[in-house]
Amino acid sequence: MARYIIGVDVGGTHTKVAILNLRGRIIAKDSFLTKRYKKDALIKAISSASDGLIKQNKIGKKDILGLGIGVPGLVDFKKGLVFYFVNIPGWKNAALKKKFESITGLATFVDNDVNVMALGEMTFGAGKGYANAVCLTLGTGVGGAVIIEGSLYRGSGWVAGEIGHIQLNEKGPLCNCGNSGCLEAYVGREYFLNDVRKSLKKGSGSIIGKLAKGRPRDITPELLTRAAAAGDTLAKKKWKEMGEHIGNALVGVINLLNPEVIIIGGGIAETGRFIFDPVRRTIRKRAMKVQKRTVKIVKAKLGNDAGVIGAAELVKKNIKAYRS
Ligand SMILES: [Zn+2]
């Protein structure tokens, strides 16, 4: 019986490849810069990294249950077709499942990276023990995933869960998706940092400019967390606004889905209480009574390994249906 799974996390910056056992433990892993490879060369690079790990660890192909891949983009899960990639320009309608299966001979499953992260968190992380959950990732973009009664809700065209494109203000700033005033247009990394830069220009007595050594381009979420921790009023105000925007979008999500838990991950979530406090406050203030009584707002637990752990879980959850 197969005892291992290959988990792959194609990130905007790094691609990670790992061998995991059936309990989600990482046995070995490898990574490389995603942008070093284009299109089919990326598929080959992933396959050879996985082959390398298999050989180094003296594992037979028969011992491998399958290959799971999480990608940043919109994915038709059934066909394993990636409609388009976020952060990997020009690659459209890529039949990843077919290509990987013909190269590796392994049963392959491809899904959106936030869906994959949600599977990992539900099985081994912050969502363990819950059946109804919503995941949110805060980074360059704002991703989302919905779990209903223990299963991912993918939607009729496979692209459900775009919490980042819930509209907060129809007259708001233009969003990447073409609409205006989406959550992402307020709290996506660059939108947020540009807003901070604008406020700094107005002059505010903030220490942010000093921390960035007078180079507004060098302002990062980490720097703003340091400023807020040092008591900087502008930094605290900007994090509070971000938390309130997220909270407002989640109020709608909570009223609609009545989840037990909302799991927030991604690099920007690392700022911790500066976001989580206003998110929780906004939900307490605005969500409907019964829904808000039980919902918990928690931070994701699996960190950097969430992608490969979730990708392995994607294989485990779907291999039976695949074989029958
Ligand atoms: Zn949008």
What is the CATH classification number for the domain harbouring 282? 3.30.420.40
Residue 278 lies in a domain: yes
Within a domain: 263 = yes
Is residue 39 located within the same domain as residue 115? Answer: yes
What confidence tens digit (pLDDT) does each residue in 103-138 have?
999 999 999 999 999 999 999 999 999 999 999 999
In this structure, the answer to whether residues 146 and 225 fall within a common structural domain is yes
Q: Walk across the sheet containing 26-33 and list its strands.
A: 26-33, 14-21, 4-10, 64-71, 108-112
User: With 80 as the cut, is the pLDDT of residue 178 above it?
Assistant: yes
- Residue 232's contacts (CB-CB under 8 Å, 6 or more residues apart) are 206, 207, 208
Ligand 1: centre distance to CA 86 (Å): 13
- CA 100–ligand 1 middle distance (angstroms): 31
The rounded distance, in Å, linking the Cα atoms of 174 and 15 is 30
pLDDT of residue 249: 98
Q: For 76-86, what is the mean pLDDT?
A: 92
**255 CA → ligand 1 middle, Å:** 21
Output the DSSP codes for 253-306: HHHHH--SEEEEESGGGGGTHHHHHHHHHHHHHHS-HHHHHH-EEEE-SSGGGH
Considering the domain boundaries, does residue 157 fall inside one? yes
Element containing residue 191 per DSSP (H, E): helix 189-201
Q: What is the mean pLDDT of residues 136-154?
A: 95
User: Which residue range(s) make up the domain with 202?
Assistant: 129-300
Q: Give the per-residue pLDDT at 288.
A: 97
pLDDT value, residue 241: 98
In a domain, 124, yes or no: no
Terminal Cα-to-Cα distance of the chain (whole angstroms): 17
Asked whether residue 221 is assigned to any structural domain, the reply reads: yes
Mean pLDDT of 13-37: 95
- Angle, CA of 210, 198 and 164, to the nearest 5°: 110
84 or 6, which is more confident? Answer: 6
pLDDT at 162 over 80: yes
Residue 191 Cα to ligand 1 middle (Å): 12
The answer on 210 and 107 residing in a single domain is no
> How far is the C-alpha of 51 from the C-alpha of 46, rounded, in Å?
9
* Span 32-50, pLDDT tens digits: 999 899 889 999 999 999 9
- Distance from residue 5's CA to the centre of ligand 1 (Å): 35
Question: Are 319 and 247 part of one and the same domain?
Answer: no
159 and 308: one domain? no
Cα of 179 vs centre of ligand 1, distance in Å, is: 5
**Strand segments (E) across 38-161:** 64-71, 73-76, 81-85, 92-95, 108-112, 133-138, 142-148, 151-152
Is there a domain that residue 9 lies in? yes
d(CA 41, CA 34): 10
Same domain as 38, residue 176: no
Q: Do 166 and 205 lie in a common domain?
A: yes
pLDDT, tens digit, 9 for 90 and up, residues 224-261: 999 999 999 999 999 999 999 999 999 999 999 999 99
Regarding whether 148 and 91 lie in a shared domain, the answer is no
DSSP state of 62: G
**Residue 88 C-alpha to ligand 1 middle, in angstroms?**
18
| pLDDT tens for each residue of 305-314 | 999 999 999 9
pLDDT in tens, 267-298: 999 999 999 999 999 999 999 999 999 999 99
pLDDT of residue 79: 95
pLDDT of 103: 95
Residue at 29 is within a domain: yes
Evaluate whether 307 touches 116 at the Cβ level (below 8 Å): yes
pTM: 0.93
Chain segment 197-223, per-residue pLDDT in tens: 999 988 778 999 999 999 999 999 999
| pLDDT > 90? residue 5 | yes
For residues 150 and 174, membership in a common domain is answered with yes
The number of distinct structural domains making up the chain is: 2
Residue 72 in domain:
yes
- Do 22 and 115 share a structural domain? yes
What value does the mean pLDDT of the chain take? 95
Residues 219 and 148 placed together within one structural domain of the fold = yes
